[in-house]
C-alpha cells in the first residue's frame, strides 16, 4: 500500500511538471514580447532560382521604365518649345514674305533711283542712310526667320530621337515582364490577384541617374535593425516607411543565404507589433500588413521597389499583383511579414 501511494504521488508529480512546462511554453508562444527570430536565411519562400530571375527581370524593367519616364518628360518639354518656335517662325515668315514682295516690286531699287535723280547730294546721303537701315532691319528679320526655322527642325529631330528611345525601352520592359511572369508560373504562382493598394502619403523620391535609371549601390550604410549594412536606397526606403507610420518590428540585413538580404537590399516588416510569429497574421495585424504592402506599391517608383511579397501574393512593377507559392510556412508564404526588395 505504501509503495502504491509512493507510485501515485510520483505520477502526480510528473503530471504536474508536464502541465507546468506546457503552460510555460503556451505563455512564451503567446507573449507579444521577445520576438521570434527573423525568417531563416533560406526561408524566404520560392527558390533561389526564382529570386534570381525576379531580381534580374525586375531590375532591368525598373531601369527601362525610368528611362521611358525621363524621355517622356523631355519630349513634353520639347513639344512646348516646338509650339513656341512654330508660332515665332510663322510670324517671321509673314514678315519675310512682305519684304520679298517689296523687293520683287522694286521698291528698294526705285527708292535708290529716285534719290540719284534728285540731284541733291544731301538728299542722296540722307536717303541712302534710310535705305541702309531698312536693308539691315530686313536682313535681321530674315536671319531670325532662318534661325527659328533651323531650331525648329533640330527640336523636331530631338523629339524623334526620344520617341525611338521610348520604343526601344518599352520593348525591353515587355520582355522583362514576360521573364518575371514565366519565373513565377514555373514556381507555382503567377495568377493575377486583387492585391493590396493605397496605404498612406507619398514617400520622398530616392536619387536617380540623369537618364532615369537607378545607380548601382553597395551595402555601405549601417542597418538600424541589425548589426549589418544596407544600401543607401534601402535605408531610405526603410526610413520613409517609418515616417509614414509603419514602425513595427523590422529586420533587414542577414549575413547568410541567397536573395537581397545579404546584399543589404531587402527588409522584412513583421505584421505583429513586437516580432515575427510562427503563424499567419489576422485581424488588425493583417490589416497592418495590407496597408504596408499597399504603401510600398503606391511608392514603388519613388523608392526603387523591385518587388513586394505579402500573404501568398507578390507584386512587381512589370507583373502587378500575382499569386505566390512560398512553400506553406508562415515565413515562406509571407503571412507573418511583408518582404520588400529594393533596386
User: DSSP secondary structure string, 266-281?
Assistant: EEEEESSSSSB-SS--
pLDDT for res 57: 86
Domain boundary among the residues 133, 164, 184 is at: 184
Side-chain half-sphere exposure of 141, counting CA atoms within 13 A? 17
Check whether residue 194 and residue 157 sit in a common domain: no
Check whether residue 74 and residue 166 sit in a common domain: yes
Check whether residue 277 and residue 140 sit in a common domain: no
Cα distance between residue 298 and residue 315, in whole Å: 11
Strands 250-251 and 305-310, by their bridges, are unpaired
With contact defined as beta carbons under 8 Å apart, do 136 and 144 qualify?
A: no
30 in any annotated domain? no
74 in any annotated domain? yes
Q: Is 337 helix (H, G, I), strand (E, B) or coil?
A: strand
Check whether residue 72 and residue 102 sit in a common domain: yes
Check whether residue 279 and residue 161 sit in a common domain: no
143 in any annotated domain? yes
15 in any annotated domain? no
Q: Compute the radius of gyration of the chain from its Cα atoms.
A: 36
Check whether residue 170 and residue 266 sit in a common domain: no
Cα distance between residue 294 and residue 314, in whole Å: 11
Domain boundary among the residues 162, 184, 206 is at: 184
Count structural domains, the chain: 2
Give the bridge partners for 221, in sequence order. 230
Cα distance between residue 122 and residue 108, in whole Å: 19
Check whether residue 310 and residue 258 sit in a common domain: yes
pLDDT for res 247: 96
Q: Extract long-range pairs of 147-151: CB within 8 Å, 24+ residues apart.
A: 148/85, 148/88, 148/89, 148/92, 149/89, 151/85
From the list 291, 290, 341, the residue with the least C-alpha distance to 316 is: 341
φ, ψ for residue 207 (rounded to 5)? -65, 145
Cα distance between residue 339 and residue 343, in whole Å: 13
pLDDT for res 163: 84
Cα distance between residue 193 and residue 125, in whole Å: 87
pLDDT for res 104: 52
With contact defined as beta carbons under 8 Å apart, do 275 and 31 qualify?
A: no
From the list 214, 215, 234, the residue with the least C-alpha distance to 224 is: 234
Q: All 3 cell numbers of residue 85?
A: 518656335
Check whether residue 126 and residue 249 sit in a common domain: no
Domain that holds residue 330: 188-342
With contact defined as beta carbons under 8 Å apart, do 176 and 60 qualify?
A: yes
Check whether residue 207 and residue 322 sit in a common domain: yes
Cα distance between residue 277 and residue 271, in whole Å: 9
45 in any annotated domain? no
160 in any annotated domain? yes
With contact defined as beta carbons under 8 Å apart, do 277 and 268 qualify?
A: no
Q: Is 206 helix (H, G, I), strand (E, B) or coil?
A: coil
106 in any annotated domain? yes
Per-residue pLDDT tens listing for the chain (343 residues): 444 334 444 444 443 433 443 333 333 333 333 345 556 544 555 667 777 787 888 888 888 888 888 988 888 888 988 888 888 878 876 765 665 565 555 555 555 565 556 555 555 555 556 555 556 666 676 777 778 778 888 888 888 888 888 888 888 878 888 888 888 887 778 899 999 987 777 899 999 999 999 999 999 999 999 999 999 999 999 999 999 999 999 999 998 777 899 999 999 999 999 899 999 999 999 999 999 999 999 999 999 999 999 999 999 998 999 999 888 899 999 999 999 999 9
Check whether residue 200 and residue 298 sit in a common domain: yes
Check whether residue 193 and residue 325 sit in a common domain: yes
Check whether residue 122 and residue 199 sit in a common domain: no
From the list 283, 293, 307, the residue with the least C-alpha distance to 337 is: 293
Domain boundary among the residues 184, 205, 221 is at: 184
10 in any annotated domain? no
With contact defined as beta carbons under 8 Å apart, do 167 and 305 qualify?
A: no
Amino acid at each position: 500500500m505504501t509503495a502504491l501511494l509512493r507510485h501515485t504521488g510520483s505520477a502526480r508529480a510528473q503530471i504536474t511538471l508536464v502541465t507546468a512546462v506546457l503552460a510555460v511554453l503556451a505563455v512564451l508562444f503567446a507573449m507579444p514580447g521577445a520576438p521570434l527570430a527573423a525568417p531563416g536565411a533560406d526561408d524566404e519562400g520560392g527558390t533561389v532560382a526564382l529570386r534570381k530571375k525576379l531580381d534580374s527581370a525586375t531590375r532591368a524593367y525598373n531601369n527601362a521604365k525610368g528611362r521611358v519616364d525621363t524621355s517622356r518628360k523631355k519630349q513634353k518639354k520639347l513639344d512646348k518649345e516646338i509650339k513656341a518656335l512654330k508660332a515665332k517662325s510663322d510670324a517671321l515668315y509673314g514678315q519675310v514674305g512682305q519684304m520679298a514682295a517689296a523687293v520683287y516690286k522694286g521698291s528698294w531699287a526705285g527708292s535708290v533711283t529716285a534719290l540719284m535723280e534728285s540731284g541733291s547730294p544731301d538728299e542722296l546721303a540722307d536717303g541712302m542712310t534710310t535705305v541702309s537701315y531698312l536693308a539691315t532691319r530686313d536682313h535681321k528679320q530674315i536671319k531670325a526667320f532662318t534661325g527659328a526655322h533651323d531650331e525648329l527642325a533640330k527640336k523636331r529631330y530631338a523629339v524623334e530621337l526620344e520617341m525611338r528611345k521610348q520604343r526601344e525601352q518599352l520593348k525591353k520592359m515587355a520582355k522583362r515582364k514576360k521573364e518575371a511572369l514565366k519565373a513565377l508560373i514555373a514556381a507555382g504562382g503567377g495568377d493575377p490577384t486583387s492585391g493590396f493598394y493605397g496605404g498612406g502619403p507619398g514617400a520622398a523620391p530616392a536619387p536617380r541617374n540623369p537618364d532615369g535609371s537607378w545607380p548601382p549601390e553597395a551595402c555601405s550604410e549601417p542597418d538600424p535593425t541589425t548589426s549589418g549594412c544596407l544600401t543607401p536606397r534601402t535605408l531610405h526606403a526603410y526610413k520613409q516607411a517609418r515616417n509614414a507610420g509603419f514602425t513595427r518590428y523590422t529586420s533587414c540585413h542577414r549575413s547568410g543565404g541567397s536573395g537581397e538580404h545579404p546584399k543589404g537590399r531587402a527588409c522584412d516588416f513583421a505584421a505583429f507589433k513586437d516580432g515575427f510569429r510562427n503563424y499567419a497574421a489576422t485581424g488588425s495585424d493583417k490589416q497592418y500588413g495590407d496597408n504596408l504592402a499597399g504603401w510600398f506599391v503606391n511608392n514603388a517608383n519613388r523608392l526603387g521597389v523591385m518587388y513586394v511579397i505579402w500573404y501568398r501574393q507578390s507584386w512587381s512593377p512589370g507583373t502587378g499583383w500575382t499569386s505566390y507559392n512560398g512553400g506553406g510556412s508562415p515565413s515562406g508564404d509571407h503571412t507573418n511579414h511583408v518582404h520588400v526588395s529594393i533596386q
